[in-house]
Amino acid sequence: MENSGKSGQEIGDADISEKTALNWAGTILAVADLLWIPQAGLIAWPLGLVLSDVTVDSQGANSELPVVLLTCVAGLVMIALIRVYLQILAQGQAQRAARRIQKKARGDLLFAAIARSPAQSFPPSGAFAAHVTDQVDLLGPYYRNYWPQFMRLKLVPLAIVLVTAWFSWLAALILVISGPVIPVFMALIGARAKTASADQQEELARLSGMLLDRIRGLETLVLFGAVGNSRSEIRDAGERFRLGTMRVLKVAFLSSTVLELFSALGIAFSAVYVGFSLLGDIEIGVWGKSLGYAQGLFILLLAPEFFAPLRSFSAAYHDRAAGLAARQKLSEMLDAIDTPAAAVSAVRTAVEPQMHQDKKWLFEAPGISFGNVTIDLAGRKVFDRFNCRIEPGETLLITGRSGCGKTTLLDLVLGFRMPDCGNVLVDGDDISMVADALRRKVMYLGQAPRLFHGSVKANLLKAMPDPSGVQDADIQTALHLAGAQDLVSRLPRGLATQLGEDGFGLSVGEIRRIALARAAMRKEARILIVDEPTAGLDPDTAADVIEGLKILSKERTCLIATHDPAVLEISGRHLDLDIAKTPVAPENVK
């Protein structure tokens, strides 16, 4: 299966346009840094004149000083304003590119989750939420900080070394020797930082999943007196996360210490060299004439700027470690969701069934055929070359022991699961090609229906693509068919009664009746698929639901999976999967 995260570009990766934007941001930052070179010259020049003026052998420079000072101050202000503008421009461009990458990564996860088949397993919701929020957030600093700083690192130190070498090759050599040592140590420490960040993020996802799971099951925990144990588990998980965070901080402080040590040594050696050169104790390292005050100050002003990109890169290197670890976690989550790329693409583009508008099954009950269908789930063959034909408008009542494949058979018709071998045809169209359009014409009641937080009416209207045209009479008809009119009338505010998450406030049977009424809202549906419609219902309510199913099954192709003998009273053919899953057409379809 081609995973949505494996179709070309990895999740959390930057495309060509975003990489170009980030590289431009780094280049602009580098230009802003390089403007410090003329600024340093404008500072060193007048200071050099002042220092020369107080020496015995440099009289007469005082007359030039006011003009020089005004010129230098004007130049400094102008260049400073340009630098500020370039820095704001670079930061804005990097920020926008990072946000686009984060938005795309978040969309990759959400679209994969939306397009996922309900028949597939799904990672813990807490872990998924942590990935969509926390892990995606970690991509921002990586792209916003690290990428531009990397480009800046490639340009600025080299330019400063070349300018320094113009005045003193020995001062440039000091920078060249002390500078490369830093990236070597950063690389060694960075490997540990990446591992520590990955462990911390994994612990965060585990903690998020645990918290959400305990909150959702709080009622059960209180019921069984297990709150104390859960409190201890959460405390232990929080302590593990704290220790992981401290390990990341320890590595960060270690790398900062190494960086500051070598940069301080480099600047100190440069200062010592310039000082002794000005005193006349060192006469090597220059091209001919000895260093003057202006040249010496100029070299000293450039030395810290040589290490500034290295400092920024070191800080951003931790963002890189966290970002790469987050990208790995996001890829693992996308693999765990395991949604085909074609399904994700269809959801992304909000594909409407335009190409199927002329299909007969959009307006009439279709025939459904299973041809040599083979399904293997976790190493167990649920179906082996299974064959069956359901005629248009026919009702098929499916029975069999638990785990024999009743729900899997319904999933095949819905397109929630594709056969490993063979095919499922709807009026001759392969289900893999028409599943999305077909589901828009299906009344469906699953084995474990779910109601959402909101009013009863809002839950019923979720079955409708456009609820604006729904009349109250349509809702009452659906409730009648599901045997839920009395239930709704007993609720405190009727259809306006607010339900909690997962239908909190209703019993299992009441949830099933509301869900059946929701399915009945789709009057235009040509297929009715129901899984265990009477499970959890008392005999009287079950009888009402069965009567509703009899009405709903008219002029529709119906598949009803059940253990309830009362449901078999519905007129239709009976398929016992305990006997029928043979390589030939089932003879027990009566």
Q: What pLDDT digit, counting tens, does each position of 472-490 carry?
A: 888 898 888 887 888 888 8
The three state secondary structure string of 49-73 is HHHHHCCCCCCCHHHHHHHHHHHHH
Q: Report how many domains make up the chain.
A: 2
Which of 313, 347, 381 is where one domain is finished? 347
pTM: 0.66
> What pLDDT is attached to residue 590?
39
CA distance 334 to 323: 16
Q: Are both 324 and 383 inside the same structural domain?
A: no
In a domain, 142, yes or no: yes
In a domain, 503, yes or no: yes
Longest dimension (CA), the chain: 120
Q: Are both 331 and 364 inside the same structural domain?
A: no
> What pLDDT is attached to residue 557?
92
Instruction: For the chain, list residues with pLDDT below 50.
Output: 1-8, 56, 58, 61, 351-353, 582-590
Question: CATH no. for residue 290?
Answer: 1.20.1560.10
In a domain, 565, yes or no: yes
Which of 325, 347, 369 is where one domain is finished? 347
Q: Are both 293 and 265 inside the same structural domain?
A: yes
> What pLDDT is attached to residue 65?
72
Q: Are both 428 and 541 inside the same structural domain?
A: yes
Helix (H) or strand (E) holding 41: helix 36-53
In a domain, 555, yes or no: yes
Q: Are 40 and 301 in contact (CB under 8 A)?
A: yes
Q: Are both 323 and 408 inside the same structural domain?
A: no
Q: Are both 376 and 328 inside the same structural domain?
A: no
Q: Are both 338 and 462 inside the same structural domain?
A: no
> What pLDDT is attached to residue 7?
44
DSSP string, 303-364: HHHHHHHHHHHHHHHHHHHHHHHHHHHHHHHHHHH--BHHHHHHHHTT--SGGGTT-GGGTS
By three-state DSSP, how is residue 247 classified? helix
> What pLDDT is attached to residue 589?
40
In a domain, 587, yes or no: no
Residue-range definition of the domain harbouring residue 515: 357-580
> What pLDDT is attached to residue 186?
66
Q: Are both 81 and 180 inside the same structural domain?
A: yes
Record the tokens describing residue 570, joined without a space: 């519905």
> What pLDDT is attached to residue 432?
79
Q: Are both 328 and 374 inside the same structural domain?
A: no
Q: Are both 336 and 364 inside the same structural domain?
A: no
In a domain, 569, yes or no: yes
By three-state DSSP, how is residue 538 classified? coil
Q: Are both 444 and 505 inside the same structural domain?
A: yes
Question: CATH no. for residue 469?
Answer: 3.40.50.300
Which of 347, 373, 396 is where one domain is finished? 347
